[in-house]
Structure 1
């Protein structure tokens, strides 16, 4: 009996052990399945479209986006949910970025640095979207070089912003003191400069595109005397770290870029394609620019080739923009928010 009892006990212990192993394997299998389902669910969530709020200013900084805007409005984009806003003034854009209402924005180049410093690294630059668009125009034929501006009166808009700093830099580098060698009449808006030219037969003005085209439409005799982008480049020819005259950049909220890198990548691919379309299909692009009330289509058609619309990213972006900001910093540190941005200001694709 004792032998039989021992055998039965051994069977019972073995059965118990096997049952335990079976339970452990089942639990392990169930856990793996749960993890797999969880990972799958996370992947599905990440791939779902996110809301991307984009803001651009009226003018060249918005022109490069028009094909992308049109595709989004016509349901041709389903990767992300894009919402575009065209603002009339930078004063409308900066608060919306600060408050997280705008995720991506096209802004003046120096404003990007101001926001970076103000928000303590809260924005990053994705791309340079517009090179120089400033020109000296006149009702006559007296200005053939920067030196010819000495003693002249220049109507200009953009005091305290890129136009003022660019003009001062180019004048100074050509031996002209902006405070004493020329008279600069600052206007609150570029349209006021156009009006001043219309009333002054010998008038000279610094205007950006597309206002140059608008002014020439009103006065066909108005001549483009100097391209300030070319004049800037002449100064930089022998520089150790050459910079470029820039107008606008595209920035992203740093928090948004960290949370939605796929959305940022999607935007950049579509934006680059849109810029290429605008530059290669001027007539069609001009119609879209008019449709979005950025500037009239007939103005856009003539202005686009002179607007220097680009999409420059990566190392080239950092080289050009950092050099430009360094020039502004030498003139007035407040123009860039008090100090040059750190390297994390320049967005790099992970």
Structure 2
């Protein structure tokens, strides 16, 4: 678990301010601490950055922990073990439409998906027709996006593809590196890690970026809003000042990460379990793009409707209403 630097490690002068700051937050009704979570994907990087920065006058102390399966994220948010989490944008919609107290803070393109392949006959997405492909999170967003893009281009994913599944992106990465899969779907930074490791062994896999394919197929010029940050509704309603400060902090963290990829990679390498240069290469190739949820509502609804074409349950059966989107 990544924990924010505690005030005990700060200077004596800063320590002298701690009781005053704590009392100020208590008087304002702000929470004493926030538990943050996210997957080992770039969507989590802004939260990792906030958790590393230390408490401030606007934000309380925070802890950051990792999940590797969306079901764990859902359980943590529902139980209250976590108040804020990076995760799939559709997962937030599902929870909200089921009547659970979740709100969406923002969306970002962290975790960009790519097909990597050693098969020389695959140079573009439609070349996967008739091929074996390895996906992950069966029935969840990555699987559905591939099926949607295939169907829109005349490929029946059930009869024209031979699909197998890994339990996680990490398992998919290992299967690709070990040669057990020749064509695999991977998110960032795992895809960049695979490319770099393949280069060391003397090979250069073809990369097909799914977000580029999404823009080409749908005509939507904005990034595929796969990920985002969600929070418990009680945090938004009972502590709006804290949520506003959190949104501002996330925005600043994104700007800093994009401007300082080497430092950001060094700071977050342990969370990802990757060497910092790999994460740095990923961030340099795919900078994070972020929008507050309310501003991204139109693009999110376009994305949600695309998912509903494949399976309405992927967004909880309907489009979330206005209250779902925080400004």
Normalised by the shorter chain, which TM-score bucket? 0.7 to 0.9
| Partner of residue 85, structure 1 | 64
Report Cα offsets for 1:158-185 as digits up to 9, x if no partner.
2111111110011111111101111111
User: Greater CA deviation, 192-201 or 258-267?
Assistant: 192-201
1:60 has 2:60 as partner: no
1:115 has 2:95 as partner: yes
Which structure 2 residue ranges, 5 or more long, are not aligned?
1-22
Secondary structure of residue in 1 paired with 2:226: strand
Distance change (3 Å), C-alpha of 1:190 and 1:291: closer
- Describe how 1:138-177 pairs up with structure 2 within 5 A: 138-177=117-156
RMSD of aligned Cα (Å): 2.5
Following superposition, the deviation at residue 107 of structure 1 comes to 1.4
- Describe how 1:154-233 pairs up with structure 2 within 5 A: 154-200=133-179, 203-220=182-199, 221-233=203-215
Matching residue within 306, 325, 340 for 2:304:
325
Is the CA contact 1:132–1:228 (under 8 Å) kept in the aligned structure 2?
Answer: no
Q: How many angstroms apart in 1 are the aligned matches of 2:76 and 2:137?
A: 22
Report Cα offsets for 1:222-280 as digits up to 9, x if no partner.
3233111011001121x7xx775222111121121111111011111111100111111
- Describe how 1:324-343 pairs up with structure 2 within 5 A: 324-343=303-322
Distance change (3 Å), C-alpha of 1:326 and 1:176: same
Point out the structure with max Rg over C-alpha: 1
Secondary structure of residue in 2 paired with 1:58: coil
Matching residue within 51, 54, 57 for 2:33:
51
Following superposition, the deviation at residue 97 of structure 1 comes to 1.4
Following superposition, the deviation at residue 339 of structure 1 comes to 2.4
Is the CA contact 2:30–2:239 (under 8 Å) kept in the aligned structure 1?
Answer: no
Q: What's the TM-score once normalised by structure 2's chain length?
A: 0.84
Q: How many angstroms apart in 1 are the aligned matches of 2:181 and 2:82?
A: 44
Matching residue within 62, 84, 94 for 1:104:
84
Distance change (3 Å), C-alpha of 1:201 and 1:164: closer
Matching residue within 299, 304, 307 for 2:278:
299
Is the CA contact 1:329–1:340 (under 8 Å) kept in the aligned structure 2?
Answer: no
The structure where helix makes up a greater share of residues is: 1
Secondary structure of residue in 2 paired with 1:186: strand
Q: How many angstroms apart in 1 are the aligned matches of 2:303 and 2:34?
A: 29
| Partner of residue 233, structure 2 | 254
Secondary structure of residue in 1 paired with 2:296: helix
Which structure 1 residue ranges, 5 or more long, are not aligned?
1-40
Q: What's the TM-score once normalised by structure 1's chain length?
A: 0.78
Aligned residues: 301
Matching residue within 94, 101, 116 for 2:74:
94
Matching residue within 266, 273, 277 for 1:287:
266
Secondary structure of residue in 2 paired with 1:106: strand
Secondary structure of residue in 2 paired with 1:245: coil
Q: How many angstroms apart in 1 are the aligned matches of 2:93 and 2:53?
A: 31
